[in-house]
Amino acid sequence: MSGAPRLILASQSPARAKLLTEAGLRFDVIVSAVDEDAVAAAAGDPTPAETALLLARAKAEAVAALPEARDAYVLGCDSVFEFDGEAHGKPYEPEVAIERISRMSGREGVLHTGHWLITPATAESPAPGNAPDDGGQAPSSSIAAGAGATQSGLGRLSSATVRFAEIDPAEIRAYVATGEPLHCAGSFTIDGIGGAFIESVTGDPHAVVGLSVSTLRALLSEQGTGITEFWV
């Protein structure tokens, strides 16, 4: 790989792209065609945290295998909200969102965001299994990258506890009617209309948005690259 390194965000989330932009990073977006439900089903019965990391990895690996991602760092992310021991992804249907938000009113849950970073085959990277496996971090692995090359991947989880205010039923219906919560993990956002209903966040607030820039920095560092190399 010659010249400045490339970073690809394997996500169609505008919120994640906005976070990277506001952090002053240079990146491209390539959306994966991963069937999230099929990936989660094939894993058996993963915990909400495991699901977030599993889907982040699937997205990153799918995009990294594309010719247009050659010689690029590929970041996959996925968020899952854990509430009452259940994994809450995107509700899609208004009735589902209303039911979930009604239960969340005045209570708290944990938003897990999984990050998986694929390093270019030509970049130096730690040997599989040499990275420490703690703090929600997954061990590195190798995946096929075409033409006999391999790429290494490293994952890490970033989680934050979200405390919700007491929300009036009329407010819940009005919020769901905006359409915002239907395509958000957990049926809420912190950086949009839903922020009015969040009392506090314990942990990295960027994890609640869907991408922790500090976690990305840590993953890049563990793979031998500084985040400053991606500054605009």
Contact in structure between 203 and 161 (CB atoms under 8 Å): yes
d(Cα 44, Cα 187) in Å, to the nearest integer?
Answer: 24
Given a contact cutoff of 8 angstroms between Cβ atoms, the answer to whether 169 and 190 are in contact is no
- What residues does 67 pair with on adjacent strands? none
Nearest to 59 by CA among 162, 155, 176, 159: 155
Nearest residue to 63 (alpha-carbon basis) of 20, 55, 212, 138: 55
Asked if 82 contacts 48 with a C-beta cutoff of 8 angstroms, the reply is yes
The two tokens of residue 4 are 């400045």
Q: What span, in angstroms and rounded, lies between the C-alpha atoms of 159 and 52?
A: 10
H helix and E strand count, the chain: 7, 8
**Closest listed residue to residue 59, CA positions, set 127, 3, 1, 11:** 11
Looking at 35, 45, 78, 191, which residue is catalytic? 78
Report the C-alpha gap between 59 and 72 in whole angstroms: 14
Q: Is 204 in the active site?
A: no
Catalytically annotated residues? 78
